[in-house]
Amino acid sequence: MPGESLFPRLEQLLPQVSKPIQYVGGELNSTVKDWDSAAVRWCLMYPDAYEVGLPNQGVMILYEVLNEVPDVLCERTYSVWPDLAKLMRDQGVPQFTVDGHRAVRDFDVLGLSFSTELGYTNMLEALDLAGIPMHAADRDESHPIVLAGGHAAFNPEPIAAFIDAAVLGDGEQAVLEMTEILRRTKAEGLNRHETLLELAKTGGVYVPRFYDVDYLEDGRIRRVAPNHPDVPWRVAKRTVMDLDEWPYPKKPLVPLAETVHERMSVEIFRGCTRGCRFCQAGMITRPVRERSITGIGDMVKAGLEATGYEEVGLLSLSSADHSEIGEIAKGLADRYEGTQTSLSLPSTRVDAFNIDLAQELTRGGRRSGLTFAPEGGSERLRKVINKMVTKQDLIDTVTAAYSQGWRQVKLYFMCGLPTETDEDVLEIAEMAREVIRAGRQATGTRDVKCTVSIGGFVPKPHTPFQWAAQADPETIDRRLKLLRDAIREDKSTAKAIGYRYHDGKPGQVEGLLSRGDRRIAAVIEEVWRQGGIMDGWSEHFSYDRWMQACTSVGVDVDWYTTRERDELEVLPWDHLDSGLDKEWLWSDWQDALAETDLDDCRWIPCFDCGVCPQMGTEIQVGPTGKKLLPLSVL
């Protein structure tokens, strides 16, 4: 019976699996609403394990936004581990929600939030366990609409065969507008095709079935064109402009099982105009929209009261870039001084960090390590990627931090960036050595540590590097070995420098998926059929399985990854509008090759990237004296 709890059947399986608590539900601030009184029913999924998915802010926000609507019901589901998946198949227990333990297939919408492309196989696993046909073309009125969102859905073409629709950008307003359409189409008795057409006609929901892809003889795309007169040629992303109008989550979920983040988080602003050319998140979330000091304070107060957490994370792509971050940190530190509450900035740039800010954040007594991301090893390479942090900036910052009591610094870099050479990578070792020497001099002790963390670069859609050739795994691994040996070479600092890295193989698979087209769906399906799930976990990821699947279905991996695109090539995502002008992105790509950096356009005249609709408007001065684009421009 639709809406009936599956828990009596599930409960019998839980003693046989690891971490059964993650499937039980009943978290503080979770919601279970009456099934029969709901006009529209949503199931939200973060396609990874509970410990990764529950803290996800995007899912948590939409879960609360939807459940605030009286006649709308929203529940959550996560990927189940292989041990439970086997038992579920054996016993005929379908994919379930953790709130009401209802069958996912009974909902009106299954909305998946993709933070990484490596979650695509988890979607197929969930669809199969749910009893929902894997291919969108095979679904009928009895099946939910499968909807993709999140950063890894800005190019949904590789999963176009499996999803019914995708939404680009912010979801708060989008899910409510979709809900109104679904309420109406259900009342009018429209069929699945008609309902999807109503969604597509809005211009803000991408429905792949209404778009045809034509290819050239050499395999490149000739064009992507609508096959129905009522849908637009390009689908636009959604942007919430006033964050204070959306103070979510008001009551964050508190997990029962251990998760990757044990804190209450408040998003203090969205977007970034630093212009790092590798950073998809920074590009696709433009423009910058700040939450007010009052709004942040109210959210922190409400969230702490609702959860009992003792740590507050102030989230954004670069939290210290909030124009009033000093006042925010001081105000919160004053309010919670003498309590057990601590504050943290999970994302901080070297050139935005200062000791006064750090001291406010650690006034509660907790002082964890500091993490900075120079990204490129040499100043030449940092000009290419537009990450304008000098070695001296870093040394000055960490020297100040060490002198104020910090003892641990983590530096994050990427390997395989465009135009990168072995020498660029080897400069990372020298930078780490100088950090240790500076720390020892500042403290007068040898009790300082520096951890170098490095991962392979993956070109992403809607960035200036979307045309770039990706370095092959062999090149990545060779350079990582050179770096490891260089770090070990200097015996005076080697023991003080930690080294963490990921080999180049997962990055190549991610690159295949991130810039793939509809033909990649066959690879994803073949990998899943050969047992590929939880690809974001090293113990489950199999590079050979992905390469064998590519061979099996006739996909040339290098054509999608290590091939550089030219200016006029039609890219698989060109019909999906992130707000960024393609000509501007190409110009920025040429600037990268010329090793020309650009300033942060937030404080200077506009570079005309396409996001801000009105150009040439006078820049206003913000409360801290910094220049701000007026809301009339944004």
At residue 473, the 3 state secondary structure works out as helix
What was the pLDDT predicted at 249?
96
CA 627 and chain centroid, separation? 28
Kindly report the number of other CB atoms within 10 A of residue 36's CB atom.
7
Question: Per the omega criterion (within 30 degrees of 0), is the bond before 287 cis?
Answer: yes
- DSSP-derived letter for residue 411 is E
- Give the containing element (helix H, strand E) for 344: strand 342-344
AA identity, residue 252: P
In whole angstroms, give the CA distance from residue 255 to residue 78: 13
CA angle 295, 266, 537 (to 5 degrees): 160
Beta carbons of 501 and 432 less than 8 angstroms apart: no
Beta carbons of 499 and 434 less than 8 angstroms apart: no
CA 352 and chain centroid, separation? 22
Beta carbons of 166 and 177 less than 8 angstroms apart: no
At residue 528, the 3 state secondary structure works out as helix
What was the pLDDT predicted at 368?
62
Q: Is residue 215 part of a domain?
A: yes
Q: Hey, which bits of 152-272 come out as E strands?
A: 165-166, 211-215, 221-226, 235-236, 264-267, 269-270
Beta carbons of 44 and 62 less than 8 angstroms apart: yes
Q: How far apart are the first and last CA of the chain?
A: 49
Q: Is residue 441 part of a domain?
A: no
At residue 166, the 3 state secondary structure works out as strand
What was the pLDDT predicted at 619?
34
The tally of CA atoms less than 13 A away on the side-chain side of residue 341 is 24
What was the pLDDT predicted at 258?
87
In whole angstroms, give the CA distance from residue 281 to residue 317: 8
What was the pLDDT predicted at 346?
73
Beta carbons of 454 and 417 less than 8 angstroms apart: no
Assign residue 57 the CATH number of its domain: 3.40.50.280
- Written in H, E and C, the secondary structure of 53-118 is HCCCHHHHHHHHHHHCCCCEEEEEEECCCHHHHHHHHHHCCCCECCCCCCEHHHCCEEEEECCCHH
Q: Is residue 350 part of a domain?
A: no
Q: Is residue 481 part of a domain?
A: no
What was the pLDDT predicted at 621?
34
The tally of CA atoms less than 13 A away on the side-chain side of residue 471 is 22
In whole angstroms, give the CA distance from residue 377 to residue 391: 9
Q: Single out the residue of 82, 79, 108 nearest to residue 95, CA to CA.
A: 79
Kindly report the number of other CB atoms within 10 A of residue 466's CB atom.
23
At residue 399, the 3 state secondary structure works out as helix
Q: Is residue 550 part of a domain?
A: no
What was the pLDDT predicted at 586?
97
- Count of structural domains within the chain: 1
What was the pLDDT predicted at 365?
60
Mention every residue, 6+ apart, whose C-beta is less than 8 A from residue 591.
Answer: 464, 597, 598
In whole angstroms, give the CA distance from residue 505 to residue 259: 26
Task: Kindly give the parts of the chain with pLDDT less than 70.
Answer: 347, 364-369, 613-634
Q: 31: domain range?
A: 7-236
In whole angstroms, give the CA distance from residue 95 to residue 289: 37
Give the number of residues written for the chain. 634
Helices 82-91 & 120-130 angle (0-180, nearest 10): 20
At residue 591, the 3 state secondary structure works out as helix
**Residue 212, Cβ density class (10 Å: 0-12 exposed, 13-18 middle, ≥19 buried):** exposed
Q: Is residue 34 part of a domain?
A: yes
Q: Is residue 397 part of a domain?
A: no
Q: Is residue 346 part of a domain?
A: no
Sheet holding 449-456, edge to edge: 370-375, 408-415, 449-456, 497-501
Q: Single out the residue of 276, 507, 500 nearest to residue 382, CA to CA.
A: 276
Kindly report, residue by residue over 255-306, the tens digit of the pLDDT: 998 898 888 999 999 999 889 999 999 999 999 999 999 999 999 999 999 9
- DSSP-derived letter for residue 461 is T
